[in-house]
Amino acid sequence: MSEQKKLAPETLAAQALGWIDPTTKAIVPPLHLSSTYVRDEDNQYRSGRGYIRADNPSFDQAEALLTALECGTGSLLFGSGMAAATAVFLALKPGDHVLAPRVMYWSLRNWLANAARGWGLDVEFIAMEDPAALRAAVRPGKTKLIWIETPANPLWTITDIAAAAEAAHSAGARLAVDSTAATPVLTRPLALGADVVMHSGTKYLNGHSDLAAGTLTVGRDDDYWQRLKSIRAQHGGMLGSFEAWLLLRGMRTLYLRVRQACASAQTLAERFSKHPKISAVLYPGLPGFPGHEVAARQMASGFGGMMSIRVSDGEAAAIKTAARVQVWKRATSLGGVESLMEHRASVEGAGTPAPPDLLRLSVGVEAVDDLYADLDQALRAA
């Protein structure tokens, strides 16, 4: 392990930490499907494994790799990003005050505004990208968790992770970061002071649009970490064995995929900025984008593969543009090798921060000229 610590994250990912099966010398971990494990004759469980809902050897390598990439102390795989994210809140107590951003993944925002409040959390949504608003909103001793997402769906708003960590810790709260769009390739929130990192593994970690998964990584083995583990075991929101195996396979190419998506997204953002049918490009890699400087500080080697464009001729033209693309696929989700596009206000409905003329783009790994030409023809035809 000490030698592995010196290897670059790309190497750790490509080799899934260099794992070799001690019995067969295989370089790919086996798929463990057993739901139960035999007790020792003296009634103990010395293997540490008892039942599939609490634990699964098919998780080990993916969790260990993610922990290494995020510089954490432990990771947990969940059955979806939502299962992982909601566990972060369910590990609190009714009555606890929680701060969350106004711009964030819409399904979690809805869960916080409805179910979490119904359960008793005191959830307050603020302009998280404004450090002064955050400092003013924290209630020392009362605020237990600050949730941020950076870059945040669907406007790609940037929050300063180090500043948010300072605000959280000064009030005795934890900072949790939805780092789905940044991935560990670009940002390591724990190294910037965060306490918990969450990913929808459905997106970049897996990268092939063929499974749902969620992950949590923490920087400390404490009572909060133990509560997260119990929530996964008791609520049963764990990942399946095959999905864990696929997730690890996807993570082997994480660095290649994310770097290509970043390079293509930067090129497209710059070209779209000059397009006559686009009134605005929302991409943290553009120098004029609010939050660009913070993003440049906390995102290494790229600004991600996600951006949004606003279509000059309004909502109907945006929807027509999405109808006319062929290389881009008209579908929700993000972070796969194939480029996706969607009219975000249609997905999010009431309460969305997405203007009606906005198309959300997930840039994949196709030839960037094909992506540009396809969207260009769709914009001009619409």
Instruction: By CB under 6 A, name the binding residues for ligand PLP.
Output: 80-82, 85, 105, 108, 149, 153, 178, 180-181, 200, 202, 212, 214, 333-334
Helix (H) or strand (E) holding 97: strand 97-101
Q: How far is the CB of 212 from ligand PLP (least distance, A)?
A: 5
Q: How far is the CB of 335 from ligand PLP (least distance, A)?
A: 8
Helix (H) or strand (E) holding 145: strand 143-149
Q: Would you say 82 or 268 has its CB closer to ligand PLP?
A: 82
Amino acid letter, residue 57? P
Whole-number Å distance between alpha carbons of 33 and 240: 9
Q: Does the active-site annotation cover 51? A: no
Q: Would you say 77 or 368 has its CB closer to ligand PLP?
A: 77
- Of 91, 100, 60, 92, nearest in space to 77 by CA: 60
Q: Does the active-site annotation cover 203? A: yes
Q: How far is the CB of 199 from ligand PLP (least distance, A)?
A: 8
- For residue 18, give the 3-state DSSP assignment: helix
Q: Would you say 265 or 317 has its CB closer to ligand PLP?
A: 265
CA angle 278, 347, 316 (to 5 degrees): 40
Name the catalytic one among 109, 174, 188, 203. Answer: 203
Q: Would you say 214 or 284 has its CB closer to ligand PLP?
A: 214
Whole-number Å distance between alpha carbons of 27 and 35: 24
Name the catalytic one among 55, 160, 178, 195. Answer: 178
Q: How far is the CB of 373 from ligand PLP (least distance, A)?
A: 27
Whole-number Å distance between alpha carbons of 187 and 191: 9
Contact 175, 194 (CB under 8 A): yes
Evaluate the CA torsion angle 17, 306, 105, 346 in order and state its sign: negative
Instruction: Tell me the two tokens of residue 268.
Output: 């497209």
Name the catalytic one among 55, 105, 224, 232. Answer: 105
Q: Would you say 80 or 298 has its CB closer to ligand PLP?
A: 80
Name the catalytic one among 37, 49, 53, 220. Answer: 53
Q: Does the active-site annotation cover 376? A: no
Q: How far is the CB of 377 from ligand PLP (least distance, A)?
A: 28
What is the side-by-side order of every strand in the sheet holding 329-330? 278-282, 306-311, 358-362, 340-343, 329-330
Which residue's Cβ lies closest to ligand PLP? 81
Q: How far is the CB of 181 from ligand PLP (least distance, A)?
A: 6
Amino acid letter, residue 93? K
- Of 281, 285, 283, 282, nearest in space to 300 by CA: 285
Whole-number Å distance between alpha carbons of 204 and 193: 23
Amino acid letter, residue 193? G
Q: Would you say 181 or 254 has its CB closer to ligand PLP?
A: 181
Amino acid letter, residue 96? D
Q: Would you say 14 or 347 has its CB closer to ligand PLP?
A: 347
Q: How far is the CB of 344 from ligand PLP (least distance, A)?
A: 11
User: Residue 280, CB half-sphere, CA atoms under 13 Å: how many?
Assistant: 18
Contact 268, 371 (CB under 8 A): yes
Q: Does the active-site annotation cover 274? A: no
Catalytic residues: 53, 105, 178, 203
